Amino acid sequence: MTAPFSWIRPEPHGIHVVPADIWVDPSRAVPRALVTHGHADHARGGHGETIATPATLAIMKLRYATSDGAVPVAYGESIALGGGVSATFLPAGHVLGSAQILLEHAGERVIITGDYKRAPDPTCAPFEVTPCDIFITEATFGLPVFTHPPIGEEIGKLLDARRENPDACILVGAYALGKAQRVIAELRAAGHTDTIWLHGAMEAMCRLYEEHGVALGDLRLVSDATKDEMRGAIVVAPPSALNDRWSRRLPDPITAMASGWMRVRARARQRGVELPLVISDHADWNELTRTIAQVNPQETWITHGREEALLRWCELSQRRARALALVGYEDEDD
């Protein structure tokens, strides 16, 4: 008789599902991997077999040119992994294709959330609260100072700035997978129908989103535009391009950044951001704590982020919890 949950082991390079010898979001190449979503800190090429949602596999094919050994599993579907372990993919609400992975073995249920959020997002399926014994959660914004306002308010700020500066352009830094498409989709929902200009690094991912049924409206590349065409326009670029030479081609850009870190003034200043937009694809403090309370697991494991504070919250609300020391998860640009 083995000890409870000894079949699942957090290791520095990922979570190891021992009976099936399969890894979840490993940070190095392994023979078999389950991948929650397409961000580079969770998905990487070089695995022998990659089990993920069809959208995540499409993203991985585009970003890491990996298609060998791809095993698609749709939301709600289960797959037997061997060793008596099954995996079910459930929507995580983080980005297109993102999934929580429910692992079941000998009547024990473990959920690995990857990254997730609870706020509505027109570009991906919403998070599903699912009962389990062990809930393995992220904690990127696991401090009570992090509360993300409703996205409509932040999009409103962006549109106000555009209206007030008709001769300038608003350069929005947004993570190329997920954040950029969400900002564009929310702008469309707010009635902004004009062309939105893209940095070249955004183009392919936006097309992929559209192929998956997310309408993004009229998008064009900055490299095809004249300076005057971009006056009064909104330009979306990866955060790394904000203070890069690339942005010099823009007419008097006002630098905006869509990120949960923008809640803290110093973080905006460090990046030279003039228009901070508190928009995140991660759960904020209230979403994290509410989700743990709703899922109500026997035990909560915390993978990455500000794990100390979330551990403390679990302690205060008398919930068993532990922090996992995983390496390689980065969250600087969200």
Partner 1 sequence: MEEFAALLDALVYTTSRNRKLALIAAYLRQAPDPDRGWALAGLTEGLDFPAVKSSTVRNLMMERVDPVLWALSRDFVGDTAETASLLWPEPEDAAAQPPLTLAEVVERLAALTRATAPKELPLLFDRMDAKGRYALIKLATGGMRVGVSARLAKTAFALAFDVSVEEVEEYWHALTPPYTELFQWAADGGPAPDLAGVPRFRPFMLAHPLEDGEVDLADYAAEWKWDGIRVQLVRAGGETRVYSRSGDDISASFPEMLTVLPMDAVLDGELLVRGSAQGGEAGGAASFNALQQRLGRKTVSGKMLKEAPAFVRLYDVLLLDGIDWREHPWKSRRATLEGLMPRLPASHFDLSQLVEAEDFAALAAIRDTARDEAIEGLMLKHRESPYVAGRKVALWYKWKRDPLLVDCVVMYAQRGSGKRSSFHSDFTFGCWDGDPDAGAELLPVGKAYTGFTDAELKQLDKFVRQNTLNRFGPVREVKRELVFEVAFDSVHTSKRHKSGLAMRFPRIHRIRWDKPAHEADRIEALRALVKD
Binding residues for partner 1 restricted to 308-327, rule: CB under 8 A? 308-309, 312-313, 316
**Nearest approach, Cβ of residue 234 and partner 1 (Å):** 18
Number of residues that bind partner 1 (CB under 8 A): 23
Query: Which CB, 80 or 327, lies closer to partner 1?
Result: 327
- Closer Cβ to partner 1, 175 or 313, answer by number: 313
Element of type H or E holding 302: strand 299-305
CB of 149 to partner 1, least distance (A): 10
Q: Residue 114 and residue 14: Cα distance in Å, rounded?
A: 11
Ranges within 140-199 binding partner 1 (CB under 8 A): 143-145, 147
Residue 183 is given by DSSP the state H
How would you list the strands of the sheet with 234-237, edge to edge? 219-221, 196-198, 234-237, 169-173, 253-258, 275-277
Q: Nearer to partner 1 by C-beta: 209 or 246?
A: 246
- Cβ at position 99, least distance to partner 1 in Å: 28
Contacts of 94 (CB under 8 A, 6+ apart): 37, 114, 115, 116, 117, 124, 178, 281, 282
Nearest Cα to Cα of residue 123 among 142, 159, 97, 84 = 97
Sign of dihedral through CA atoms 262, 193, 234, 207?
positive
Question: What is the distance between the alpha carbons of residues 119 and 72, in angstroms, rounded to a whole number?
Answer: 26
Backbone angles phi, psi at 187, to 5 degrees: -60, -45
From 45-53, 61-69, 116-124, 138-146, give the range in contact with partner 1 by CB under 8 A: 138-146
Considering the complex, state which of residue 153 and residue 194 has its C-beta at the smaller distance from partner 1.
Answer: 153
Q: How far is the CB of 174 from partner 1 (least distance, A)?
A: 18
What backbone phi and psi angles, to 5 degrees, belong to 143? Answer: -140, 140
Between 73 and 139, CB nearer to partner 1: 139
Least distance between partner 1 and beta carbon 163 (Å): 17
Stretch that binds partner 1, among 41-49, 112-120, 185-193, 305-313 (CB under 8 A): 305-313
Subset of 221-280 contacting partner 1 (CB under 8 A)? 263-270, 272-276
Burial class of residue 107 in the structure, from the number of CB atoms within 10 Å of its CB (0-12 exposed, 13-18 middle, 19+ buried): exposed
Which residues of this chain interact with partner 1, rule CB under 8 A?
143-145, 147, 263-270, 272-276, 306, 308-309, 312-313, 316
